[in-house]
Amino acid sequence: MNLKKSIVILTVVAVFIILMAVFALVSFPIADTVYDYHGYATTIKLGLDLSGGVSAVFDVQPDGYGDLETRVDGTVTSLQDMLVSEGYTEAVVTKTRRGDNFAIRVEVPDVNNADDVLDLIGRPAKLQFVGATSAGEVGSALPADAVVAVEGGRHLSSAFVTMQNGDFAVGLEFNEEGTKAFADLTSNYSYVHIYINGELFSNVQVQSEISDGRAIITSESWAEDYNAASEFATQLQAGAFGVTLSAGEVRNISPSLGDDAVRVAIIAGAIGVGLIFIFMAVMYRGLGLAADIALVVYILLLVWFCSVLPWVQLTLPGIAGLLLSIGMAVDANIIIFERIRDEYRHSSKPIPSAIKTGFKRSFAAILDGNVTTLIGAVVLWIIGSASIVGFAVTLFIGIILSMFTALVVTRLLIKCLLPINSTSERFYGLRRAKEGEHKEEQSFIRTEAVKGGDVK
Amino acid sequence: MKNIGATFLDKYSKLKVSKLTRITFVLPLVIVLIAVAVIIGLGETTGDYTSAVGIGIDFQGGTMLTVNGLDNDGELQAKIDEIESIIESIEDANGSRVSVSYIQRLSGVDGISVSFRYQNASEDNDVITAHNEAIRAELMSYLYPDEETAADDAITFDQIGATAAQDLLSKAGIALAVSTVLILIYIVIRFTPTAAFAAVLALIHDVIVMFALTVICRVQINSSFVAAMITIIAYSINNTIIIFDRCREYLKPLKGMKNIDYDAVGDTSVRENMRRSVFTTATTMITVIFLAILGSASIREFCVPIILGLIAGLFSSVCLATPMWAAFSRSWDKLKAKRAATAAYAGAAPSASDDDDDKEVIFKPDRKDDDDDEGFAPKASQPKSKSGGDKPKGKPIYKYSKKNTSFKKKK
């Protein structure tokens, strides 16, 4: 690499850093549109603990069906699962109790409008199947004397969007009791009237007995519209909760870690990263400087990914994951530089070739160290529950990026430094071993062992 | 030379970790024993083991006290602080107090409310109710000193359940087990089975010691602790691997040779990686330390376990992983040599490899099943210290007679 080329590369990196940094923070209206550009660092989604959100209390209607508390617990779990599937991995669902009355408190981060939470949970839809022997005329309302064979709250286990003949449809899955009830219904009657919230939804002819506990509901109104089908599925799902919920008070809540949690995290991060920069520059001089620049690239890319990827809702643990990955990014550099230092110290190699060997020899260590961590992150991503997933994703991005910056960016920058200055020990913070400081040639074979009687 | 820290480290990195096992293997055991003592001591006196361990409100649930109808003026924060200290000052029938875990402001159509969440000090419902009533009375007289009868809903209580998802712990446990197995497989492929085994034992050590230190420091265990623990495991395994990489490099030219001095290989690798291990831990820890200093109590609750875990992780990768690896590799070699010898010629001279204690080979499978390396620590360090400690070069002595006896025994 010649001097000209390296200056060009350094300039490109500098421009990249400046542009990324500017776009991270500034906000401006985009010309000729109604949209505003918001700096990507300011649009990172934050969890309940850092930014607060909306809390909605749903009162549980008392009913006479027996053990209410167990069903409330079940509903808490279903609500939590539903919110996670909607992308709100950091939402918190809590059972509360005042006297003998239960309520369920749902706290959703990053939502400003209270009604949004109600939309998320869905306005529960009560699903009822009534059998009929002939097509006949059916009134639009559920007759008072109708025998409801299958009911959402008691028999439905899940509702989801699926495809049938190229159209969207809502698939139903019944629980054990529901499977049996539905099989009875379809074997005894030739028509099934489906009621939603007491109103006739459709009148279906039964083809044969269905005993696998699955059914599909189609409707012309949302055959083409995924969102409408999904909303309907959500409503059915909400109607399938074991308890009847009614919306109570909805309020905005402040961050649970205190109002200044984000500010504190940013200040602590800035101090920490600043000290790391100084440390690297002091310990490794020119090499450290290159690592610092690579680290800036790393942090900018990390922030950008956090703001773009949908699963990332930053919480305090998420921030810790980021800090750890910054630590690992520095670590990769330290491993390489220590290796270069050793190479230079115990040999008569010139600086460029010591650097080259250093990078080559530390590659295996960095790869293995990061892959093991990566395995952990991926497993957590797949298995972990709600709040762990966000953490695993940040850790995953962090590790991939840290390997990239250490092995590619740092290397590129140092390659660019070499044509500018390839001989100064001072600049690279390297020195040869002094007299008497030479690495002992150590034998790792035990000689005493012969005493043990190594007979062949 | 300008870097005093660096020369200091260089000087002190002449140490041989394999010679320190008497101290380093016992230390985690001591920490765990102290933690157990703390739990039993507190649990017996208060009768409440979950709070003795420090299980927090996220897993346990508690009370949410809401003060309604506050004015959003300049004095709101001062008022909140005052309410918090009143809540924390009231004693219940057993003389225990609560400590507020989370404070949140709720704003809606009816002005500002502030909710205080705390763990109940007792498990008896009547005691809790009485305690909450006492807190209400005290708060009423603070907030509405003039009015005889304030609105009924000025202060409300709710019993709240655990906020941590029910399956958080079980899923985290499964994830931990699965990733441990996968990491084990990866290290077996990239390194050796002995390295994998030592690395995983070091990992288990980190989990146990971090938990024990958290208990000793009386930090509450909430859902963020799970994340903290995963962070530390990821960090520590990485640390261990870097050292093993150096061992692997030294062993490469020695492949197939006999009498490899694994202790020396391990010590050299640890020594050469010492600067890196300390630097990396320092650079990772510095940000977390500032977060702990500047942050609120609940932020500290998260940061302190991480700081403790970083120290435990550094300790295990430097002081525990390589001596364990060396011991396992020695036994492994011996086992292999013995098998080869028996296969080649039954009744021939004993194996090439050697150690002070032949029983180690027989014990090895047992240790593999042992989750807790602490249990193994004294066993390993004591026999070693007896025979090898007083030799000038510190190398173990190999007794002819003992070896032959054991060989005969095997026959």
Average pLDDT over residues A64-71: 70
| Chain pair A-B, CB pairs under 8 angstroms | 287
Among A343, A363, A440, A444, most B C-beta atoms within 10 A, so best to mutate, is A444
pLDDT digits (tens, 9 = 90+) for A295-341: 999 999 988 888 887 777 787 777 777 777 787 788 889 989 988 88
Contact B207, B31 (CB under 8 A): no
Contact A105 B160 (CB under 8 A): yes
Spell out the alpha helix ranges (H) of A86-203. 114-121, 152-155, 176-188
Residues contacting A397, CB < 8 A, separation 6+? A302, A305, A306, A309, A312, A325
Residue whose C-alpha is closest to residue B302's, from B203, B393, B223, B207: B223
Average pLDDT over residues B378-401: 44
Q: Which residues of A touch B276 (CB under 8 A)?
A: 331, 334-335, 338
The amino acid sitting at A276 is I
Q: What residues of chain A, 171 to 230, have a C-beta less than 8 Å from chain B?
A: none
CA separation for the pair B131, B153 (Å, rounded): 18
Residue whose C-alpha is closest to residue B168's, from B229, B109, B255: B229
Contact A391 B257 (CB under 8 A): no
The pair of three-digit structure tokens given for residue B359, joined into one six-digit string: 């029983």
Q: Which residue has the higher pLDDT, A254 or B166?
A: A254
Contact A368 B245 (CB under 8 A): yes
Q: Which residues of B touch A361 (CB under 8 A)?
A: 249
Give the model's pLDDT for residue A326.
Answer: 82
What is the pLDDT confidence band of residue B366, given thresholds at 50, 70 and 90?
very low
Average pLDDT over residues B348-364: 43
For residue A55, give the nearest of B106, B227, B250 by CB distance.
Answer: B106
pLDDT digits (tens, 9 = 90+) for A203-215: 777 777 777 877 8
- Evaluate if residue B352 carries a pLDDT over 60: no
For residue B264, give the nearest of A97, A373, A442 by CB distance.
Answer: A442
**Residues across chain B:** 411
| A77–chain B Cβ distance below 8 A for any pair | yes
Max mean pLDDT among A369-373, B22-26, B69-73, B323-327 falls in B323-327
Cross-strand partners of A36: A29
Q: Which residues of B touch A324 (CB under 8 A)?
A: 231, 234-235, 284
Residue whose C-alpha is closest to residue A327's, from B346, B39, B113, B282: B282
Contact A83, A120 (CB under 8 A): yes
What is the pLDDT confidence band of residue B149, given thresholds at 50, 70 and 90?
low
Look over chain A and give the mean of its residue pLDDT values, rounded to a whole number: 78
For residue B302, give the nearest of A114, A317, A377 by CB distance.
Answer: A317
Minimal C-alpha gap between A7 and chain B (Å):
30
Give the model's pLDDT for residue A277.
Answer: 92
CA nearest to B303 within chain A = A320
Q: Which residues of B touch A331 (CB under 8 A)?
A: 238, 276, 280, 283-284
For residue B186, give the nearest of A249, A261, A372 by CB distance.
Answer: A372
**Strand-pair category, A167-174 with A156-164:** antiparallel
Contact A376 B287 (CB under 8 A): no
For residue A372, give the nearest of B168, B183, B398 by CB distance.
Answer: B183
For residue A272, give the nearest of B187, B287, B299 by CB distance.
Answer: B287
Contact B158 A103 (CB under 8 A): yes
**DSSP label of A105:** E
Q: Which residue has the higher pLDDT, B349 or B27?
A: B27
For residue A452, give the nearest of B168, B293, B403 by CB distance.
Answer: B403
- The residue with tokens 């300039």 is A11
Minimal C-alpha gap between A103 and chain B (Å):
9
| A377–chain B Cβ distance below 8 A for any pair | yes
CA separation for the pair B105, A259 (Å, rounded): 9
- Evaluate if residue B1 carries a pLDDT over 60: no
Average pLDDT over residues A402-417: 88
10 Å Cβ neighbour count for B369? 6
Residue whose C-alpha is closest to residue B232's, from B262, B202, B261: B202
The pair of three-digit structure tokens given for residue B268, joined into one six-digit string: 């050299």
Minimal C-alpha gap between A201 and chain B (Å):
36
Fold of the A3-25+255-434 domain: Multidrug efflux transporter AcrB transmembrane fold (1.20.1640)
10 Å Cβ neighbour count for B363? 15
- Evaluate if residue A223 carries a pLDDT over 80: no
For residue A424, the Cα-to-chain-centroid distance in whole angstroms is 46
Q: Which residues of B touch A302 (CB under 8 A)?
A: none
Angle of helix B223-251 relative to helix B297-315, nearest 10 degrees? 20
Contact A384 B187 (CB under 8 A): no
pTM for the model: 0.73
Give the model's pLDDT for residue B30.
Answer: 92
CA separation for the pair A336, A339 (Å, rounded): 5
| A370–chain B Cβ distance below 8 A for any pair | yes
Contact A331 B283 (CB under 8 A): yes
10 Å Cβ neighbour count for B131? 23
Contact A328 B103 (CB under 8 A): no
Percent of chain B at pLDDT exceeding 70? 75
Minimal C-alpha gap between B82 and chain A (Å):
16
CA-based end-to-end distance of chain A: 56
Minimal C-alpha gap between A138 and chain B (Å):
45
Contact B107 A96 (CB under 8 A): no
What is the pLDDT confidence band of residue B229, given thresholds at 50, 70 and 90?
confident
Q: What is the secondary structure of B91-153 as a DSSP string? A: --TTS----EEEEEEEEETTEEEEEEEE--S-S-HHHHHHHHHHHHHHHHHHH-SS-SS--GG
ipTM over 0.85: no
Give the model's pLDDT for residue B359.
Answer: 38
Q: Which residues of B touch A454 (CB under 8 A)?
A: 258-259, 352
Domain ranges of chain A: 3-25+255-434, 53-252
Residue whose C-alpha is closest to residue B304's, from B318, B316, B317, B291: B291
- Evaluate if residue B14 carries a pLDDT over 70: no
Cross-strand partners of A298: none
Average pLDDT over residues A398-418: 88
Residue whose C-alpha is closest to residue A92's, from B168, B72, B342: B168
For residue B175, give the nearest of A80, A258, A383 by CB distance.
Answer: A383
Angle of helix A386-404 relative to helix A261-308, nearest 10 degrees? 70
CA separation for the pair B264, B309 (Å, rounded): 28
For residue B294, give the nearest of A95, A251, A268 by CB distance.
Answer: A268
For residue B268, give the nearest of A93, A442, A447 by CB distance.
Answer: A442
Give the model's pLDDT for residue B353.
Answer: 45
Give the model's pLDDT for residue B346.
Answer: 64
Minimal C-alpha gap between B35 and chain A (Å):
25
Residue A241, CA distances (Å) to A72, A245, A308, B194 in order: 9, 9, 34, 51
Contact A320 B3 (CB under 8 A): no
Q: Quick one: residue B37, left, alpha or beta (phi over 0 = left, psi -120 to 50 = alpha)? A: alpha
b/e string for A266-305 if b means 16 or more Cβ within 10 A?
eebbebbbeebbebbbebbbbbbbbbbbbbbbbbbbbbbb
Residue A204, CA distances (Å) to A129, A131, A132, A197, B310 in order: 10, 10, 10, 17, 63
Average pLDDT over residues B160-184: 78
CA separation for the pair B136, B150 (Å, rounded): 12
- Evaluate if residue B274 carries a pLDDT over 80: yes
CA separation for the pair B6, A338 (Å, rounded): 12
Minimal C-alpha gap between A116 and chain B (Å):
15
Among A379, A437, A441, most B C-beta atoms within 10 A, so best to mutate, is A379
| A385–chain B Cβ distance below 8 A for any pair | yes
Q: What residues of chain A, 269 to 298, have a C-beta less than 8 Å from chain B?
A: 269, 271-273, 275-276, 279, 282-283
Which of A87-92's residues contact partners 24+ apart within 8 Å by CB, and which partners? A87/A310, A87/A311, A88/A120, A88/A313, A89/A311, A89/A313, A89/A386, A89/A387, A89/A389, A89/A390, A90/A47, A90/A48, A90/A313, A90/A315, A90/A386, A90/A387, A90/A390, A91/A48, A91/A386, A92/A48, A92/B163
**Strand-pair category, A27-29 with A191-196:** unpaired
Contact B403 A338 (CB under 8 A): no
Contact A383 B298 (CB under 8 A): no
Contact A453 B350 (CB under 8 A): yes
The pair of three-digit structure tokens given for residue A302, joined into one six-digit string: 């990390």
**DSSP label of B221:** B
Give the model's pLDDT for residue A121.
Answer: 67
CA separation for the pair A31, A69 (Å, rounded): 56
Which of A337-344's residues contact partners 24+ apart within 8 Å by CB, and which partners? A337/A283, A337/A284, A337/A287, A337/A288, A337/A291, A338/B273, A338/B275, A338/B276, A340/A287, A340/A430, A341/A429, A341/A430, A342/B272, A344/A430, A344/A431, A344/A432
